[in-house]
């Protein structure tokens, strides 16, 4: 029987996207979205904030309205699911794009404490010829020697190995120093996690495939032409993009005028206006069971009588779903992964006059690799994972360019340091060391502690999720409940929306 009443558990990006596409797929079904917080949107949180301060150079009172993000801040144009949603929700006019040729797109930095300065990463192979900066020899040695030697290294994947950590994979192919510096930084920027614990096949499946394609060499595999679409990939033509494919030509990243929340707010508006959709904000799920005789779902919440949906889409973090299931119907592997917590600190500074040095080089920002002796030493006291130079890419959101905004991310694998209490003067002093200049007093500091915001896919995650899907397809679930979202299959905005887009695809 097709769904007549669908419960969507979770009102973050995945839950809202799922509800949106379910209204299109099952226009007559009753759809209820349950969100534990009164505010929908989950980790996506953009705020427009007014800052007022006295300009010390001319004594004038200055005002600026700036958009600050507590979660994702820029989007990549290759995620078609995001573009489709922007098109379908009529948000194209709010797009702000960053061209591939801009400094924000080309200049990415690492802060490697041993080198004591920001090191720009090459953005193209020919960059090595014109590359400048005091650390270039060190980076060139590290980057080039390992990458150039890799194709000549013998195949060294152990027979029968079906997953390993990102760090083990990178060390095997490129060496331990390369892995510690580059792989750990990349993993900090995406997963805010320890590369020694993250599953390569879940986080970077294309590298695993490249190694196979390159007969053991990742570099050769990348240089070889990619295979055609795999059977579970959607052809580009199945997305309704309007003219967004053209708009996104030569775009590196993009955002929306009022920030990424523009998307979640528009979804909430659409769903609230839809007659068959019921939005329950500030309502927690406390229990989910299946009546053994009728086989109907029984959903117990903090707000209302028990609900009896015919179908359920759970977008809850897996450990939360585990907490609401009765033991009789518990599902496998829901507690196998831990979730990472990230403290996000938005900083707004007055822009220094043009005659003085800028606060930071133009660019995307920088990442800090794992310290040589791990996460529990004193080299990175505050547990800084990286810093984004927001003004380089999203200044067009703001009412004035008299201010500079940046965001520092802390915590993740430095677990014990990701505490909500941040000592701002310690933070500024550490950032000043990274940037090689003394930062002025910020005119605004905003701290968000994102507790358990990103799942850490441990080795074997893909296999475990396959087993979970298998159990959900059999009795008593019989395919009537789907478990989707960042906890299962991909942490990016595109992955979350894609998962929502596919919700209920096989219900008829
Ligand atoms: C709250 C902090 C987050 C950290 N990672 C993510 C969030 C929301 C999720 C994430 N970040 C990136 C990706 C890659 C795919 C994508 O959709 O772009 C994902 C899933 C990459 C990324 N990391 C940072 C930025 C600004 C971007 C996007 C732009 C780009 O790749 O050019 C910065 C950053 N994020 C985190 C840290 C520690 C960090 C540090 C500078 C954790």
Which letter, b or e, does each residue of 444-468 get, where b requires 16 or more Cβ atoms within 10 Å of its Cβ?
beebbbbeebbbbbbbbbbebbeeb
- The Cα-based distances of 150 to 126, 380, 395 in angstroms read 19, 31, 40
Q: How far apart are CA 289 and CA 296, in angstroms?
A: 8
| Crossing angle of helices 261-273 and 80-88, rounded to 10° | 50
Nearest Cα residue to atom 37 of ligand 1: 189
Q: Which residues does 58 contact at the CB level (< 8 Å), separation at least 6? A: none
Q: How far apart are CA 97 and CA 75, in angstroms?
A: 9
Nearest Cα residue to atom 35 of ligand 1: 189
Domains of the chain, with CATH numbers? 5-42+261-336+458-501 (3.50.50.60), 49-77+94-104+338-455 (3.90.660)
Judge contact between 203 and 217, C-beta under 8 A: no
Half-sphere exposure in the Cβ direction for 467 (13 Å, CA):
10
Angle (CA) 170 173 175, round 5°: 70
Q: What is the pTM of this model?
A: 0.95
Q: Is 493 in the pocket of ligand 1 (CB under 6 A)?
A: yes
pLDDT for the residue numbered 217: 97
Q: Is 72 in the pocket of ligand 1 (CB under 6 A)?
A: yes
Judge contact between 462 and 204, C-beta under 8 A: no
Q: Which residues does 126 contact at the CB level (< 8 Å), separation at least 6? A: none
pLDDT for the residue numbered 25: 97
Give me the tens of pLDDT residue by residue for the chain, a chain 508 residues long: 789 999 999 999 999 999 999 999 999 999 999 999 999 999 999 999 999 998 877 888 889 999 999 999 999 999 999 999 999 999 999 999 999 999 999 999 999 988 888 998 887 765 655 555 656 677 777 777 889 899 999 999 999 999 999 999 999 999 999 999 999 999 999 999 999 999 999 999 999 999 999 999 999 999 987 766 555 677 888 999 999 999 999 999 999 999 999 999 999 999 999 999 999 999 999 999 999 888 889 999 998 779 999 999 999 999 999 999 988 889 999 999 999 999 999 999 999 988 899 999 999 999 999 999 889 876 677 999 999 999 998 888 988 888 999 999 999 999 765 455 788 999 999 999 999 999 999 999 999 999 999 999 999 999 999 999 999 999 999 999 999 999 999 999 999 999 999 999 999 8
Q: Is 342 in the pocket of ligand 1 (CB under 6 A)?
A: yes
Alpha carbon of 199 to ligand 1 centroid (Å): 18
Q: What is the 3-state secondary structure (H, E, C) of 368-436?
A: CCCCCCCCCCCCCCCCEEEEECHHHHHHHHCCCCCEEEEEEEEECCCHHHCCCCCCHHHHHHHHHHHHC
Q: What is the ipTM of this complex?
A: 0.94
Nearest Cα residue to atom 20 of ligand 1: 492
pLDDT for the residue numbered 144: 77
pLDDT for the residue numbered 90: 98
């Amino acid at each position: 029987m097709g769904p007549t009443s669908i419960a969507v558990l979770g009102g973050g990006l995945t839950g809202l996207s799922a509800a949106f596409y379910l209204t299109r797929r099952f226009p007559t079904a009753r759809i209820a979205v349950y969100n534990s917080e009164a505010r929908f949107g989950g980790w996506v949180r953009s705020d427009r904030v007014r800052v007022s301060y006295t300009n010390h150079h001319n004594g004038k009172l200055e005002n600026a309205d700036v958009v600050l993000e507590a979660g994702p801040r820029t989007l990549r144009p290759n995620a078609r699911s995001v573009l489709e949603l922007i098109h379908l929700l009529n948000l194209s006019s709010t797009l702000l794009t960053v061209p591939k040729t801009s400094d924000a797109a080309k200049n990415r930095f690492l802060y490697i404490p041993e080198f004591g300065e920001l090191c720009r990463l090459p953005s193209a192979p020919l960059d090595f010829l014109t590359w400048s900066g005091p650390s270039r020899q060190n980076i060139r040695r590290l980057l080039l020697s390992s990458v150039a030697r890799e194709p000549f290294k013998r195949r060294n994947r152990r027979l029968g190995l079906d997953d390993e950590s990102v760090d083990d994979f990178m060390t095997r192919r490129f060496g331990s120093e390369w892995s510690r510096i580059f792989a750990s930084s990349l993993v900090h920027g995406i997963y805010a996690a320890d590369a020694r614990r993250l599953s390569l096949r879940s986080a970077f499946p294309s590298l695993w495939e490249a190694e196979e394609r390159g007969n053991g060499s990742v570099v050769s595999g990348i240089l070889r032409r990619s295979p055609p679409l795999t059977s579970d990939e959607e052809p580009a033509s199945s997305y309704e993009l309007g003219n967004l494919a053209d708009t996104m030509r030569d775009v590196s990243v993009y955002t929306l005028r009022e920030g990424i929340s523009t998307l979640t707010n528009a979804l909430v508006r659409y769903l609230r206006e839809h007659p068959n959709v019921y939005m329950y904000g500030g309502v927690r799920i406390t229990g989910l069971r299946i009546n053994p005789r009728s086989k109907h779902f029984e959903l117990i919440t903090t707000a209302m009588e028990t609900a009896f949906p015919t179908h359920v889409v759970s977008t809850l973090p897996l450990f939360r779903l585990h907490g609401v299931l009765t033991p009789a119907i518990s599902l496998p592997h829901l507690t196998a992964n831990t979730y990472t917590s990230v403290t996000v600190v938005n900083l707004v500074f007055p822009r220094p006059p043009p005659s003085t040095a800028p606060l930071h080089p133009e660019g995307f920002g920088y990442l800090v690799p794992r310290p040589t002796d791990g996460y529990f030493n004193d080299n990175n006291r505050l547990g800084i994972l990286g810093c984004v130079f927001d003004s380089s890419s999203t200044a067009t959101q703001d009412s004035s360019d008299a201010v500079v905004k940046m965001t520092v991310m802390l915590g993740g694998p430095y677990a014990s340091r990701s505490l909500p209490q941040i000592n701002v003067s310690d933070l500024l002093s550490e950032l000043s060391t990274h940037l090689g200049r003394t930062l002025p007093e910020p005119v605004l500091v905003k701290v968000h502690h994102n507790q358990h915001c990103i799942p850490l896919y441990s080795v074997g995650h893909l296999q475990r999720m396959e087993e979970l899907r298998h159990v959900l397809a059999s009795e008593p679930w019989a395919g009537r409940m789907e478990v989707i979202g960042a906890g299962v299959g991909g942490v990016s905005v595109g992955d979350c929306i894609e998962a929502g887009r596919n919700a209920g695809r096989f219900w008829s």
